[in-house]
Chain A
């Protein structure tokens, strides 16, 4: 679902949301729109390309450099195109203790890419992430806006299959209109099971979920 960035326009819900967002900040503080509008743009256009930066700057409007500064500061803005599914495997301390590295290596092997890369078919982008705030259910990964927790390697396999089989997500309206984490939980098929079924990667010498 690569999107042509040479001629950008907002979808109707995004355009409406932009107007609504404007009303939330005082007239002289419209600069504060940069964050939410960038998020929105990323959802609309897939990634924050230089053209998207120009587009957002003109939409708010603020000088381009201010949008660049913000877009470079936060890692949640993707400055490179990413795959349809953005896998972010937490490898901060809790997840590491619970085998995040094993999960990462497993996915790398399975998809044939290294972290930071995208599969040639554009389906998956794999990244390591710092603490995603889900230590109690380590190891975990975030797929697009969704958490998958207590991962076992078989859960991962199953999840990747499910994702691959899931239809395009671009027309999900709720997704456009809300920032990450703020939207209604968008369920994938069998999400309920995939979510909690696993019990962690079994590290050598440890019982599953052993604490």
Chain B
């Protein structure tokens, strides 16, 4: 028996591995079968019956297709050789409408005050597949509407369609067994297991995958109508997993962060810490223009003067070898490429390493979170900022050299140098021995209080770039927000510094950097399934359907 099966879906032929569900096979030929309970990241349950289609199996002995006795659920049914699937016959359409009617019997239809409105599968399927007025003339069943599930999730039993996605998530993905469906018939509701506090690191995912507005996040409730949000592909920097995300923003500020499907990195999900990272981003202290503490420049130098001065100082070190460069695991691969070149080729620096910018965060677990709370250590090293590249002169050696007064110019990217000292004072005392400290940073920290020159760069939400995770998968993040003040793009700034130091940047454009790095940020290869939900064909609506922007 071959491992592949070929079948037709609405007349379109498709070949898929044996065991593929019909609903998945259909996606491959661009046929979207409406569904609620099915989610590619969860075990199949087949309870909603929305995904029915007319499925005809091939009988080899009789040499004909068997007409189906009744419509089949395509999320349960395996694709078979020579199968015929019809997804839009009148009978199928009628069945769907009937399923919708049942689902809506007790649904409160409170879309105007529901946070899910605009990205709700029930709403969309109603518009597409039902569209009828309610036939119900009786009082609807009432259920709890404001039930906290832990601190981050609120449950509304009336909106719930009992698809069991959330309970399957806690049973099979987080394996915490927090949620279950209790009682029966029209009294059934999702309930928190007795004794559960629902405070694990992945709780918010249940809100994403809830096809309706039954599970809302305390962090997002009543904050913004989703149709006012702009969506930008991004990557989480919370740990070296690099979960692919979508940053939902309103030009000036990020309102929420949602996971984006990337099978080889994070699958469909992300952790709560990653979602909250926008808050710490918003809380950082920024500088909108260069700051200097040297007399030649004055307190607020122009970018041109600051660059010329910095380039001069770096250029002086070309031969002397008294330059130490400390990069950061928060740099993009492209920036690391240029910094590595500036340090190694342009300035021939002897000292080079990466510091540990963030040392606190969720502990590592066996789902997603890793124990490196910085995103791009692997990528920065691969791109050329190699710790102790020359004669093993790494961070420890740099610290020794600083203490011994051997370092003349210290170039630091980002924050957190103090993490490598016993205290902030100890760090201050050490760097006081260095005549020229230049810090390129997106946030002010203890070093910015004493550095001779602080150059503001854009943070991850304000620039384009790629990070490479601990397993070697590269993901691309894109500019979502307007840059703060005069903060400059790191890649472009470092390239300018190469020139100012009397050298040449390694590549001319960001695109060339991508080419040179020979990495494939797979996230660039985005299919329709990755974000554009095409319920309304021709209209490009970006939707967080099922939370992970899957179709």
Beta-carbon contact of B183 and A63 below 8 Å: no
Beta-carbon contact of A69 and B194 below 8 Å: no
Beta-carbon contact of B195 and A69 below 8 Å: no
Residues of B in contact, count (CB < 8 Å): 15
Q: Which residue of A lies closest to B181 (CB)?
A: A69
Bound state CA distance, A117 and B349, in angstroms?
86
Beta-carbon contact of B194 and A66 below 8 Å: no
B109 within 8 A of A: no
> In the complex, which of the residues B177, B183, B191 contacts A66, with contact meaning CB atoms closer than 8 Å?
B177
Bound state CA distance, A50 and B180, in angstroms?
15
Docked complex: A37-67 residues within 8 A CB-CB of B: 50, 53-54, 63-66
Docked complex: B97-111 residues within 8 A CB-CB of A: none
- Chain A residues with CB under 8 Å of B180's CB are 65-66, 68-69
Known contacts A68-B182, A69-B182, A72-B182: A63-B177 contact under CB 8 Å: yes
Known contacts A53-B194, A54-B195, A68-B194: A63-B171 contact under CB 8 Å: yes
**How far apart are B374's CB and chain A's nearest CB, in angstroms?**
35
> In the complex, which of the residues B178, B181, B191, B194 contacts A50, with contact meaning CB atoms closer than 8 Å?
B194
- C-beta contact mask, B194-230 vs A, less than 8 Å → 1, else 0? 1110000000000000000000000000000000000
Beta-carbon contact of B182 and A64 below 8 Å: no
- C-beta contact mask, B298-327 vs A, less than 8 Å → 1, else 0? 000000000000000000000000000000
Beta-carbon contact of A65 and B178 below 8 Å: yes
Docked complex: A153-200 residues within 8 A CB-CB of B: none
Bound state CA distance, A69 and B179, in angstroms?
10
- Chain B residues with CB under 8 Å of A68's CB are 180, 182, 191, 193-194
B526 within 8 A of A: no
B184 within 8 A of A: yes
Q: Which residue of A lies closest to B176 (CB)?
A: A63
- Chain B residues with CB under 8 Å of A69's CB are 180-182
**How far apart are A88's CB and chain B's nearest CB, in angstroms?**
18
A73 within 8 A of B: yes
Known contacts A50-B194, A64-B193, A64-B195: A72-B183 contact under CB 8 Å: yes
**How far apart are B187's CB and chain A's nearest CB, in angstroms?**
9
Docked complex: A65-100 residues within 8 A CB-CB of B: 65-66, 68-69, 72-73
- Chain B residues with CB under 8 Å of A64's CB are 177, 193-195
Q: Which residue of B lies closest to A75 (CB)?
A: B184
- Chain A residues with CB under 8 Å of B191's CB are 65, 68
Bound state CA distance, A73 and B180, in angstroms?
12
- Chain B residues with CB under 8 Å of A50's CB are 194
**How far apart are B199's CB and chain A's nearest CB, in angstroms?**
16
Beta-carbon contact of A54 and B194 below 8 Å: yes
Known contacts A54-B195, A63-B171, A63-B193: A72-B177 contact under CB 8 Å: no
- Chain A residues with CB under 8 Å of B184's CB are 72-73
Bound state CA distance, A65 and B180, in angstroms?
6
- Chain A residues with CB under 8 Å of B196's CB are 65
Q: Which residue of B lies closest to A72 (CB)?
A: B182
- C-beta contact mask, B158-196 vs A, less than 8 Å → 1, else 0? 000000000100010000011111111000000101111
- C-beta contact mask, B120-136 vs A, less than 8 Å → 1, else 0? 00000000000000000
6 A-B interface contacts by CB (under 8 A): A63-B177, A65-B167, A65-B177, A65-B178, A69-B182, A72-B184
Q: B interface vs A, CB < 8 Å?
A: 167, 171, 177-184, 191, 193-196
Which 6 A-B pairs give the minimum distances between C-beta atoms?
A63-B177, A65-B180, A65-B193, A72-B182, A69-B180, A72-B183
| Interface contacts beyond A63-B177, A72-B182: sample of 17 additional A-B pairs, CB < 8 Å, sorted by A | A50-B194, A54-B195, A63-B193, A64-B193, A64-B194, A64-B195, A65-B167, A65-B179, A65-B191, A66-B180, A68-B180, A68-B182, A68-B193, A68-B194, A69-B180, A69-B181, A73-B182
